[in-house]
Amino acid sequence: MTARVMLVIGSLVALWGCGGVADSIAKHELTVRISRHGHAVADRPVSVAMRAYENVPFTKPQETKTDSAGQAHTIFETMWGAAFVVIPPLGLVPPHPPKPVYSLRIAGEQVTVSPETPGVTYRWEHGSWHTEASVSLP
């Protein structure tokens, strides 16, 4: 093969692997229903911190409050990065950041909400994790 043919083949192979790096902002939402002995814990302050990745510490806690039904809601904004691969058409790799872990402090109790917590649902929606949990305090 001539050098010209090798150059053309090399150029085509380089063009087939198109991609880049993508940074995205995710607004992770947590909705938690808090109860004690089957009754809603209403109108109580809740301190919530989030850990977006396993190897980083929890964020500074955000303060929120339970409503009359014992439900609290908070949003955390994080930045995450991925590779974007066009050819072959893989899209983002990984397709989304890992599921976050939340640390809640309410009524003197420390509670962790994670993918391993029973009764927790994580949904990937609109570029963010939407987490719903039910927590029963002792």
Q: Reply yes or no on whether the pLDDT at 19 is more than 90.
A: no
Strand bridging mode 128-137 / 19-36: parallel
Q: Where are the domains of the chain?
A: 16-137
Give the Å distances, CA to CA, from 22 to 13, 50, 69, 81, 125.
22, 23, 40, 6, 18
**Which of 32-36, 46-50, 83-87, 126-130 shows the lowest mean pLDDT across its residues?**
83-87
Residue indicated by tokens 């893989």: 90
Q: What values do phi and psi take at 69, rounded to 5?
A: -95, 5
Residue indicated by tokens 């607004």: 27
Residues 79-137: tens digit of each pLDDT: 877 666 666 666 666 777 889 999 999 988 999 999 999 989 999 998 899 999 999 99
- The reported pTM is 0.77
Angstrom distance (rounded) from CA 27 to CA 5: 50
User: Cα-Cα-Cα-Cα dihedral of 47, 135, 35, 106, to 10°?
Assistant: -20
Q: Reply yes or no on whether the pLDDT at 73 is more than 70.
A: yes
Angstrom distance (rounded) from CA 55 to CA 41: 32
pLDDT at residue 95 in the model? 73
What's the CATH fold of domain 16-137?
A: Immunoglobulin-like (2.60.40)
